[in-house]
Amino acid sequence: MTERPILLVEDNPDDALLTVRAFTKNRIRNEIVVATDGEQALLRLLPAEGEALRPALILLDIKLPKIDGLEVLRRIRDDERTRNLPVVVLTTSNEERDVVTSYTLGANSFVRKPVVFEEFVAAVNALGVYWLIVNEPAPLG
């Protein structure tokens, strides 16, 4: 399992807390770094100065203040420093266009947030097992 952090890009504090609790309940010990808007996420991933965050996984909501999730995804994929980072869109959206646009922009996966906590915990467990244990990540450049 990689020790690199998980970047959770989520503006809803309740959803962020729920996600952190689900990772804890599943004994996934990676540090979770929370960015509450798209601008914060990009500043961490693509800073003009200083060290960039290189997470093992990015969990990205679509509906974000300042810079929306789809634009964040576009910028992640357009920059060679972040192009190969795994990005899972984790959202409440049930719009087909959001699914299509996410994959077109290079999302590795699109997951709708389950409403029931137990289902959410199971989904987070599956994400953690696959992306942090099973998946062989691209080498950092």
What tens digit of pLDDT does each residue of 23-48 get?
A: 888 888 899 999 999 999 999 999 98
pTM over 0.85: yes
1: pLDDT strictly greater than 60: no
For residue 5, the model assigns a pLDDT of 95
Place of tokens 């910028």: 75
Domains of the chain: 6-134 (3.40.50.2300)
CA 112 to chain centre: 13
Confidence of residue 2 (pLDDT cuts 50, 70, 90): low
Token couple for 46: 């693509």
What tens digit of pLDDT does each residue of 69-127 get?
A: 999 999 999 999 999 999 999 999 889 999 999 999 999 999 998 888 899 889 988 99
For residue 141, the model assigns a pLDDT of 65
68: pLDDT strictly greater than 90: yes
